[in-house]
Structure 1
Amino acid sequence: MSDAKIIDGKAFAANIREKVAAGVEKLKSENGITPGLAVVLVGEDPASQVYVRNKGKQTVEAGMESFEFKMSEDTTQDALLAKVEELNNDPKVNGILVQLPLPKHIDEEAVLSAINPDKDVDGFHVINVGRLNTGMAGGLVPCTPLGCILMLRDHFGGDLSGKKAVVVGRSNIVGKPMFNLLLQESCTVTVAHSRTADLPAEVGAADIVVAAVGRPEMVKGEWMKEGAVVIDVGINRIEKPEGGTRLVGDVDFASAVEKASAITPVPGGVGPMTIACLLVNTLTAACQQNGLEAPKM
C-alpha cells in the first residue's frame, strides 16, 4: 500500500470559496462593492447547462451577483457580440464568461477577443495570455492552471523554487499557462507533448508532474521518480469491462500512487478547483477595476 497523500480537491476548493466569500464581504462592507459575474450560455448543451447552473449557485453562495443569459442555438454571431459589448459596458458586471463550446456557426476566437480583458475571468483573451507570458501584473489567469498552482503552493508550503516540473500537454487552456505559472514560481519547466522523443525520461526527471494531455491513463507510474508530486488535470470517460463507464485522469492512478508522494485523484482532484478559481478571478477583477488590491489566496 502506498503512502502517497491524496490531495482532496473538493476540500481545497471549499476552503478557497470560503476565502473568496470573506473577500467579497470585506469589499462590500469597506467599499460598498458587490462583485458581479455574467455567464452567457448559447444553445442547449446538457453538460454546459449543468456547469452554468453550478457556477450560478456557487457565485451566489460567495455573496456575489450572478447574471445568467441564455441564448438560443440559432443566435447569430452579431447578436452574441452585441450581448458581450453590453456586458463590457455594464458597471455591475466585473466578470464575463461565455460558456464554451459555442455552436459551429459562431467563431469562438472572435467572441473571446470581444470580451474586455479586465473582465475576462476565463483568462483566454490574448491580452491576458500576454500578461501571463511576460509576468505583467493585472492579468487574469485561466481557472484550471490557477487551481493547480494554488494546490502546489499549498503542498510545498508556498515555495516551489528550484523544483523540476514537467507539463504533459501544450494546450492554450492548460499546458501553456501552466508552464508560465510554474516558471513564475522559479521552477525549471519542461513542456512535453505527443511528439516528445522520450516521454518516460522527461517525466522521470521531474519533482512535479502536471498531466493535461487528454488521453486516458497515458502517464504511467513507472515513469515517475520516487516522491514526485502529481497533478492530474485529465477527465476522461472510459468503458468498464462489466459495462457502463467510469471517469479516469490522464495519469494511470493505480501505478502512480505507488511512486508519488502526493497525487490528485479523478474525480475529486483538480475538477472542483475550476469553479472556485472562477470566483477568485471575479473577485480579483472587481478589486482591480476599482483600484484595490485583490486578496491573496
Structure 2
Amino acid sequence: MNKKLSLIILAVVGVFGFVLFFGFNLSNIFPDNKLQAYTLVISFVGLFGTVIGAYLGAKIAGDNARELYEHQKNQKNYEKRSKVELLTSIKLIEVLNHSIRIENDIELLYVGENDKRDIKEIIEKSVINIDDLIDGYAKPIIELLEDKELYNGTIGLYKSLLKMFNDCNRMQQHIKVINMYDKDNGHPEDYYILKEHERKMIQELYNDYVSHVRKDILSTFIEYKFMKIILDQCIQNVLKNIDNENKLFEDLKFYKFLSLPYTIKLKGDSK
C-alpha cells in the first residue's frame, strides 16, 4: 500500500514539475503569451494522460478478461477431471469388493494335510474360477478405458489404468503357460510372462507355505495369492492418481472376509 501511495505522489510531482518546466521555458520563448504557454503544456499533459489512461484501462480490462477466462477454463477442466475420478472411484468399489471375495477364496484354499477332501470339491465347488478372478479386476477397468470421458482425466490416472489392464492380460497369459495343478515338481516357473521380481515373489510364497498347505493344492493356492497381490498393487497405483476428495470408497466400510452385499452399477453397465 505504501509503495502504491509513493508511486502516486511521485507521478503527481512529476506531472507538476513537467508543467512548470516546459511552461516556464515556453513562456520565455513567447513572453507575450505566458498563459497560453502554460495552457498548451497542460493540454499536452492532459492529452498524454488520456492516451495513457485509455491504454491502462484497456490493459487492465484485457488482463481481467484473460484471468477470468483462465479461471473458467481451469474450473471446467477441474470439473471434468473430478467427474472422471468419481467414475473411477465407483468402479474401484466394485474391484475392491471383488478383492475381498478373492481373499475369502484364498482362505478356503489354505488346506492342510489332514484335510481329506477331494481337490475338485475344494477348487470347483468352493472357490471362484481363476479366469473369473482376473475378470473381476479386468472388466471394470476395461469399461473405464472404453469410456471417452476418461480422456478428460489426468495422464497419470490413464497410465495407471492401462498398467492394470496390461497386468490383467499378463496374468491371464501366465496361467496359460503353467500347470498350477502340477504337484510333482514343486511350483511351475514362468520365464516367459513374469518379471524377475514376480518369479522371486512366487518362490517366496512357495517357501512360506510349502509346509502348511496340502501338496496337491499348494500351487493353486500360491497362484491365487500371487495374482491377488499383483492386481491389488495395480489398484493402489490407480488410487495414487485420484484426489482424496474423490476417493468415494473411503466413506465405505470394508470388512475382511465379508464382501459388500450391494454394489453400485453405473447406467449402461452390463449386468
Same fold (TM over 0.5): no
Give the structure with the higher percent helix. Answer: 2
CA radius of gyration, larger in: 2
Whose RCO is larger (CA < 8 A, sep 6+)? Answer: 2
Give the structure with the higher percent strand. Answer: 1
Q: TM-score, normalised by structure 2?
A: 0.25
